[in-house]
Amino acid sequence: DGGITQSPKYLFRKEGQNVTLSCEQNLNHDAMYWYRQDPGQGLRLIYYSQIVNDFQKGDIAEGYSVSREKKESFPLTVTSAQKNPTAFYLCASTLGKTYNSPLHFGNGTRLTVT
Amino acid sequence: GQQLNQSPQSMFIQEGEDVSMNCTSSSIFNTWLWYKQDPGEGPVLLIALYKAGELTSNGRLTAQFGITRKDSFLNISASIPSDVGIYFCAGRGGATNKLIFGTGTLLAVQP
């Protein structure tokens, strides 16, 4: 079955360490996105990529970095510069290069930094 | 900036009751999406709306794109325990045409 796979499901890190969250899709979707979810808040866009080797900052990109070397993969690195990294991270994709088609989400990675 | 208000924040109902939740925007939207999120999982698309006045059903769920293009509602009829979760609206439009998410409605259904 086609879908979006995020790994790991849970991730624990010490403060000051960089950590990379994996996102892979086999839907042949063009665009991929990373969102952050905090309790009581709507999803906030971190980064998105509409095409391989290209990506744009979202609303809260500071302290994060991404790469898009392959169409099916869009890893997110949470750097030590991110002041409040503990959150639920969601990866999503769309068939088209813009938001015109609905987002399809992975099952998320819960990151806890202590 | 654009704002998207979703209400209510939470609902605690008995099985069999109908549910209604809505989202309002400070600007005109051209797309409304409704998602459901189970605990620890990613949101799943329930209904997509692309036209003002559009009324779309998906089983016991019905959603409408408001005529003013600044609001949308989601109704769930005859709720069942598996309806439990967080329901999010998302809209796109305004000057940036970005997708914006509401803060979610937590639904609890008591058998």
The pLDDT of residue A99:
57
For B87, name the nearest residue in chain A, comparing CA atoms only: A42
For B32, name the nearest residue in chain A, comparing CA atoms only: A102
Distances (CA, A) of B48 to A24, A68, A81: 24, 28, 37
Q: How far apart are the first and last CA of chain B?
A: 41
For each of chain B's 111 residues, which pLDDT tens digit applies? 567 899 999 999 999 999 999 999 988 999 999 999 998 899 999 999 999 999 999 999 999 999 999 999 999 999 999 999 999 999 988 777 788 899 999 999 999
Report the relative pairing of strands B61-65 and B85-93 from DSSP bridges. unpaired
**CA B75, CA B60: separation in Å to the nearest integer?**
8
Q: Which residue has the tokens 């609303």?
A: A59
- The residues, ordered by sequence, that sit 6+ positions from B32 with a Cβ below 8 Å of its Cβ are B23, B48, B49, B63, B65, B72, B89, B90, B91
Q: Which residue has the tokens 């008591």?
A: B110
Residue B88 and residue A99: Cβ atoms within 8 Å? Answer: no
Q: Which residue has the tokens 């796979």?
A: A5
Amino acid sitting at position A35: Y
**A43 contacts in chain B (CB < 8 Å):** 43, 88, 90, 101
pLDDT digits (tens, 9 = 90+) for A27-83: 999 999 999 999 877 899 999 999 999 999 999 999 999 999 999 999 999 999 899
Give me the DSSP letters along B82-106: GG-EEEEEEEEETTTTEEEE---EE
Is the pLDDT confidence value at A98 over 70?
no
Residue A105 and residue B43: Cβ atoms within 8 Å? Answer: yes
Question: For testing the chain B interface, which of A9, A37, A110, A111 should be mutated: the one with the most B CBs within 10 Å?
Answer: A37
B7 touches chain A (CB under 8 A): no
Residue B40 and residue A108: Cβ atoms within 8 Å? Answer: yes
Task: Tell me the sheet residues that pair with A87.
Answer: A111
pLDDT digits (tens, 9 = 90+) for A72-97: 999 999 999 899 999 999 999 998 76
For B102, name the nearest residue in chain A, comparing CA atoms only: A42
- The residues, ordered by sequence, that sit 6+ positions from B62 with a Cβ below 8 Å of its Cβ are B55, B56, B74, B75, B77
The pLDDT of residue A2:
72
**A36 contacts in chain B (CB < 8 Å):** none
The pLDDT of residue A95:
86
Give me the DSSP letters along A52-74: TTEEEE-TT-TTEEE--SBTTB-
